[in-house]
Every structure is written in structure tokens, then in C-alpha cells.
Structure 1
Amino acid sequence: MDNEPTSDLTMTRIGDAVQLGRSGQKVLARDTLTALWDEIGPDGDAFHRCTLAHYLADLQDTTEAELSWDERALAAVSDLTNERAQRYLSSLQVQAFLPSLHLNLADCHRRLGNTAAAAEHLSRAREHLGHLPDDPYGEAIRTAVRDFRVDDPTDLRQ
């Protein structure tokens, strides 16, 4: 099996909306992804829910709303299997999602002044670093976790 994504209309729609956000059309991207979330529902495909929530978090106007979507992304991972993720991309490992998801939660909690929760999520991110691939993505997450400071209110997503 090669390492190319398989055809998945929902993932294509998510990717298209993410591109809208990256091109500066944040509101349209958020509205498109929110409509897709409503279509899938809170009990829909865990891979889609995790991906949607992860990207929706980045498009929120408040840290509280961002935190809510990051929590949904983490919750969806508990319903996700490697087998399901690998139907989309053969190299995906669910455990490799956890460092980034916990880092995002640590970042939100830090910006909200919840240092204990930020430290807990940072610790959880560190626990899962060994699951990251040895590639630029994995190195970027390892570096972000290494450099993260619970007492620095800088937004990692800026």
C-alpha cells in the first residue's frame, strides 16, 4: 500500500475548507466546517470528527471556543482506530495524533491562565512523543513540545 490518501469525499471537503481558511477566508472556512460537523454529527465517523474539530479549533475567535473544539478532537481520538485512520492513509497511527492534540490543549489552557491544566496536557504530549514519525511533521511537534513554556502566554497558533 502506498502512502497516498485514498479517496474520501468528506476529507476532500475538509481540505477544501481548510484551504479557504489559509487563504484568509476564515469565516467562510469556519462556516463550511461547522456545517460539515453538523452533517456528520457528534457520533459520526471518528476520523472525520477528529480532523474537523482539530481544524475548527484553529478558526475560532476566542480561546474558550478553540478549547472546546480541541477537546472534541481529543474525544474523537478515543473512538478512532489505526485501521480506520489507515483506510485514509496507510502510514497513519492514532497514537501519533496525541502529542499535537495535547499540545493544542496545553496552549489553550495556558492562554486562559489554567497553568495546572496546561502542565498536565504538556506532560501528556511528552508521554506520546515516541509515537511521532521521524519526518518534518514529527520534528515540528517535538520542537514545539520541547520549547513550550506553561508560563508564557504566547499563542502557538499565531
Structure 2
Amino acid sequence: MTEQQEASEDAVMTRIGQAVILLHAGDREEARNRLAELWAELGEDGDGLHRCTLAHYLADAQDDPADELAWDLRALIAADGLEERSTRPPESAEPEPGQPYRAVRVFYPSLHLNLATDYVKLRRPEAARVHLARARAATAALADDGYGNGVRAAIARLERRLAQEPGAQDGPGPFPEQSP
């Protein structure tokens, strides 16, 4: 990678960070506009890590739960692309393509937790439970640090909330098209 490419990628992350500061400061509309502009600039062939990060924060900037879900699904798709890239065999004696993305596994608990939360907002508890189970299953990739403990705690809170929902079951229930 050339110095110019590295500087360009750093500029993308800097711009994402600037928009996130606006988002956390409460200026959702300006953050959403800046992130959407950057998304359009990156296009479908843009760097997967940038796309995953952008989609994650674009989800957070949405006012409509269905729009939030759509962006969280885009973040998951981008992460899946990074994961696929990180597991390809080396094509030459150079380092394996995607080597820096092996850490993408730490994204999955949060990505699935976000999807579960989206589905709760949309009153789709069964879909929420599916993604919550995927979030829980992916927690082995998390370190025992502030981030990892925070994600695990958020998963536990949502599990408790869903367990209190009317119609919650101890185990997997029948398929929706089957009668109980």
C-alpha cells in the first residue's frame, strides 16, 4: 500500500470519527448527512472495514427503527465480507490478503446485539432472539476488558428483557407456521 493510499484511508476514518462526534453530541441530522455522503463516496467497492463502520454509525443516526435495521444489516454484510476475506488462503509468499481483518470476529457480538435490539423495537421478538443467540455465541471473541464486558452486559440485559416478554419460552418454540 502506498503512503497516499494509507493517508486516504486515514482520512476516511477521520471523517467517520468527526461525524460520530456530532452524533454523540446530539446532532443526529448533520452526522447522518455526513456519514451518508461518505457512504456514497465509498460506493459498493469501498473498503469493507470502512463500510462496516459507516453502516454501524449510520444505523445509530437513524430515527426510524426500520431504517436502523437496514443499516445494521449492511454493517453485518460488510463484516461478513471482511471475515470471508480474512480466511482466504494466501495467493503468494506475501502476507495473507485480509490479515489485518482477522479481528473482525470481535464485531459480531455487537453487530448481532444491534440487530436484536432493532427487532425488539420493531416488535419482532423471535427475530430478536435469533440475533441475541448469535450475539451470545460470538462473545468468545471478546476480550475481558471494558468493551467486551460492556457488550456481554448489554446482551444479558436484552436477554432478561426478552425473557419477560409475554409469550417468552424457555427453549425453542414451534416454527411460526406450526401450531403449538
TM-score by length of 2: 0.74
Q: Which amino acid aligns with 1:137?
A: Y
CA shift for structure 1 position 107: 0.4
Alignment root-mean-square deviation, CA: 2.0
Q: What is the aligned partner in structure 1 of residue 66 from structure 2? A: 64
Q: Secondary structure of the equivalent of 1:61?
A: coil
Q: Cα distance 1:63–1:127, how it changes in 2: closer, same or farther (>3 A)?
A: same
Q: What is the aligned partner in structure 2 of residue 86 from structure 1? A: 100
Q: Secondary structure of the equivalent of 1:42?
A: coil
Q: What is the aligned counterpart of 1:38 among 22, 37, 40?
A: 40
CA distance in 1, matches of 2:49, 2:126: 29
Contact 1:47/1:85, CA 8 A, preserved across alignment: no
CA shift for structure 1 position 86: 3.2
Q: Which amino acid aligns with 2:156?
A: R
Q: What is the aligned partner in structure 2 of residue 3 from structure 1? A: none
Gaps of at least 5 residues in structure 2 are 1-5, 87-96, 166-180
- In the alignment, does 2:65 pair up with 1:55? no
CA distance in 1, matches of 2:127, 2:162: 9
**Rg comparison, structure with higher value:** 2
Q: What is the aligned partner in structure 1 of residue 117 from structure 2? A: 107
Q: Deviations over 1:3-60 (max 9, x none)?
A: xxx8611111100110011122111110000000000012311000000000010000
CA distance in 2, matches of 1:33, 1:95: 24
Q: What is the aligned partner in structure 2 of residue 124 from structure 1? A: 134
Q: What is the aligned partner in structure 2 of residue 150 from structure 1? A: 162
Aligned length: 144
CA shift for structure 1 position 151: 6.0
Contact 1:14/1:52, CA 8 A, preserved across alignment: yes
CA shift for structure 1 position 73: 0.2
Gaps of at least 5 residues in structure 1 are 1-5, 154-158
CA distance in 1, matches of 2:98, 2:136: 25
Q: What is the aligned partner in structure 1 of residue 12 from structure 2? A: 10
TM-score by length of 1: 0.84
Q: Cα distance 1:116–1:131, how it changes in 2: closer, same or farther (>3 A)?
A: same
Contact 1:53/1:73, CA 8 A, preserved across alignment: yes
Q: Secondary structure of the equivalent of 1:80?
A: helix
Q: Which amino acid aligns with 1:150?
A: L
CA distance in 2, matches of 1:151, 1:61: 26
Q: What is the aligned partner in structure 2 of residue 156 from structure 1? A: none
Percent identity of equivalent pairs: 47
Q: Secondary structure of the equivalent of 2:151?
A: helix
Q: Secondary structure of the equivalent of 2:82?
A: coil
Q: Which amino acid aligns with 1:47?
A: L
